[in-house]
A and B are shown apart, each in its own frame.
Chain A
């Protein structure tokens, strides 16, 4: 089944087509979410939300972009939403602690990505911590390029921007990361 057939089958509410879609893209969606969220449970939950949204809004898919590009977009949006929700929860917990209500505020532990080579595990954990501090656009561009291995052209399509804008995000991301890492290693 090629992509067009798959899309039209999905638009006709064919559940077996949905199963094929999930099987084909689950790794891509899960790994992207894992790179962005740096937590396996959050990544799985978000990946499920992505497929639920795809299932619900496939009828609106016009085919202007590739299906994978569209799914990357949804994944990134869902990840950013979740990051915002986590940050809001943290802020709320801080405010509550000022009024004497003590919710447990756990600092996220180092994230050891299961796909990183053993020799690089420690360094990658430090890098992931630094990536989490990047502004959204730089974080998206850097994660899609380094973790998912997407080309700048593909990242530009996902982010609905130009290749030169992606180059600029990457350049600034590297500068920020270098600064954070130099402070870390001092």
Chain B
């Protein structure tokens, strides 16, 4: 069981805001607000760039950069490998792409 003086202290603490009064806003509040609004407009570009300084965004961007680069490198490597492995296949696909196998009326 709580001691009566603790009980009283809790009640007094809970009532300590009963007579609270509103205080004035800091002096020159409007002037400082205008200043902030003006600086906010000029630095909106800076704010949008500052998003990239967040660690989570930077790590995500780095991850995407690495993934895209590895995909690009593997594509280049595969193409190179394919062309080295079978030059005949490359020639065939080139001929197919440009319809070199089809005879035209002028050739008849």
Contact = CB atoms under 8 A, between A and B. Distances in A.
A25 B37 CA distance: 17
Given A26-B29, A182-B6, A123 B22 contact: no
B19 A120 contact: yes
Contacts of B97: none
Contacts of A22: 29-30, 33
Contacts of A78: none
Interface in A27-44: 27-31, 34, 40, 44
28 contacts: A22-B33, A23-B30, A27-B23, A44-B25, A44-B32, A48-B29, A48-B33, A48-B36, A52-B37, A52-B40, A115-B21, A115-B23, A116-B17, A116-B20, A117-B19, A120-B16, A123-B9, A123-B12, A123-B13, A124-B13, A124-B16, A127-B13, A146-B17, A181-B9, A181-B10, A181-B14, A182-B10, A185-B10
A51 interface: yes
A30 B36 contact: no
A55 interface: yes
A79 to B, nearest CB: 15
A181 B9 CA distance: 9
A72 to B, nearest CB: 14
Nearest to B32: A48
B23 A51 contact: no
Q: Say whether chain A's binding surface is mostly helix, strand, loop, or mixed.
A: helix
A16 B29 CA distance: 15
A26 B30 contact: yes
A27 B32 CA distance: 15
A16 to B, nearest CB: 12
Interface residues of A, number: 36
Given A44-B29, A185-B6, A31 B14 contact: no
B26 A30 contact: yes
A47 interface: yes
Nearest to A34: B23
B13 to A, nearest CB: 4
A117 B19 CA distance: 7
Nearest to A146: B17
Given A27-B24, A31-B23, A47 B29 contact: yes
A51 B10 contact: no
Given A113-B23, A115-B21, A147-B17, 16 more contacts: A22-B33, A26-B30, A27-B23, A27-B25, A31-B22, A40-B26, A48-B32, A52-B36, A52-B37, A113-B20, A120-B19, A123-B16, A146-B17, A182-B10, A185-B9, A186-B6
B2 interface: yes
Contacts of A124: 13, 16-17, 20
